[in-house]
Amino acid sequence: MANRTVAIYEGSKRDAKQVWTPVEMPNLKPDGFVYLKHDRIGNFYISWYEGKSSTTGFPRKRWKKVVGSQKYKGGKPYTTLQDAVSAARAKEWELQYPDRVKPVIPDDPRITLSVAIYKYIQDLGTNEKTVKEHRTALKAFEQWTTVTYVDEITRAMLLKWYAKLVRDGNDKLTAVWKLIRVNKFYKTIMGLPHGKGLIKTTEPDFKAQLKRKPKISVYSTEDLKKFFAACDTRQWLLFQLYHKCGLRNKELAHLEWPDLDLDKREVDIRQKKVQDGDVKKPWGPKHGSEGKVVIPELLIEPLKKWKERATNLRGLVFPTRNGRVNSKLLDQCKLVARHAGLDESKWTIKSFRATYATNRLRSRKYDTATLREQLRHKDQTSIEHYTDYLRNEELIASGKVDEGWDA
């Protein structure tokens, strides 16, 4: 049986994007109508669950635009909250008594990107990891693109987005998987059969990335000394946290003071709502990799001094001047590298994490289980590329490569 609850949403534009916000119902009159002081004009939709998805078998979320009953003097109709409440009640009645009415739900031939993403995520199923990975990729694409409708997405657009992901520091393998998820979304919404998407995993570049292990790059001790010597106080602390805690780019960008316990010397990486300027936005680490990471003692005193300068002890540790999440940390990394006389093209945030991992293993300070825990990887196979990187170093250091030759 269908869920008989009907929700009301209001569509609006935010940063040139269409967003859908649940409407909080005000108190109604005894006769069920909206008080005049609460009634307002808006772009309202109703939403409910009915039927099942053909792909997952789970209840399918339906949408319908509320058409207003009133008109401006010029003859153009407008929609009020009262119209939305009436439409929601009518639909609830239809769901409760399906034999008495045969509702006709007209399908909009063009579906907006925001609505399509919402519908797609709702129909994905219950696998938390799958849902999170698709949501992350689709939201990143939505923030980047300027299209309004799904049918406006092109192959050239996806390839351009892929190039930007790589340019912004994503590993090519990570970028390919994000591209695959957006392509799958496009095929599902457009009703395309297998193999008819905008990109194919059999294309040489994508196929090569899917077959390889992640490629890592590690900084030498000499280059690190040059890099940190070129940092100012803020940059030094920022990149030392990358280097000595192995944090990911967005984990440090979204780090807030309540996430730091300087007495226990821990960073708490978790899902939360981050104060980004004037609004709070939900954020979570990659693949839901929550956990607590230890902080070396040499960073505690600098962090305490930096905290004394903070204007908001509940806010971001390294915000922009406007109190926003800093999305330009990779640019700062390359700027410091350039000032240090290093090749800036070889400097990325991701390589600090790889340097951290290989340093802990090379120095025998962490075993693989401890490293996996600190990096917050799900299993041991996720850190094999770090041990593979060190294997040749160990052969040379142990002298095994030089011993036992007959001639």
Rounded to whole angstroms, the Cα distance separating 276 from 177 reads: 27
Residue 88 has pLDDT above 80, yes or no: yes
**In the beta sheet, which residues pair with residue 276?**
279
Predicted pLDDT of residue 119 = 82
* pLDDT range class, residue 374, cuts 50, 70, 90: very high
The C-alpha atoms of residue 290 and residue 114 are separated, in whole angstroms, by 28
**Of the candidates 350, 351, 353, 352, which has an alpha carbon nearest to the alpha carbon of residue 374?**
353
Least Cα distance to 330 among 350, 355, 315, 303 occurs for 350
What DSSP string runs through 358-386? HHHHHTTSS-HHHHHHHHT-SSGGGGHHH
User: What pLDDT was estimated at residue 224?
Assistant: 96
Say whether 152 sits in a helix, a strand or coil: helix
The span from the CA of 195 to the CA of 257, in Å, is 47
- Return the structure tokens found at 296: 């070396």
Q: What is the pLDDT of residue 26?
A: 79
- The percentage of residues in the chain with a pLDDT greater than 90, rounded to a whole number, is 34
Which residues have CB under 8 Å from 198's CB, separation 6+?
Answer: 153, 154, 155, 158, 183, 186
On the question of pLDDT at 403 being above 80, the answer is: yes
**pLDDT range class, residue 347, cuts 50, 70, 90:** very high
Q: Which two tokens stand for residue 7?
A: 């929700």
pLDDT digits (tens, 9 = 90+) for 381-400: 778 888 888 888 888 888 88
**pLDDT at residue 360 above 60?**
yes
Q: What is the signed CA dihedral for 300, 306, 312, 313, rounded to 10 degrees?
A: 10
Which of 60-74, 89-103, 125-139, 203-217 reaches the highest mean pLDDT? 125-139
Q: Is 366 exposed, middle or buried (0-12, 13-18, 19+ CB in 10 A)?
A: middle
pLDDT, averaged across the chain: 85
pLDDT at 105: 47
Could you report the per-residue pLDDT of 287-317, keeping only the tens digit for each?
778 999 999 999 999 999 999 998 888 999 9
Provide the percentage of residues in the chain whose pLDDT is more than 70.
90
What gap in Å lies between CA 341 and CA 347, rounded to an integer?
12
Question: Does pLDDT of 66 surpass 90?
Answer: no
Query: Higher-confidence residue: 233 or 216?
Result: 233
pLDDT at 251: 93
Q: How far is the C-alpha of 337 from the C-alpha of 273, rounded, in Å?
A: 32
**Residue 256, Cβ density class (10 Å: 0-12 exposed, 13-18 middle, ≥19 buried):** buried
Q: What is the pLDDT of residue 74?
A: 57
Q: Of 61, 178, 63, 176, which is closest to residue 120 (Cα–Cα)?
A: 61
Q: Largest alpha-carbon pair distance within the chain?
A: 100
- What kind of fold does domain 221-394 have according to CATH? hpI Integrase; Chain A (1.10.443)
Segments of 157-215 assigned E as strands: none
Domain spans in the chain, listed from the N-terminal domain onward = 7-100, 113-211, 221-394
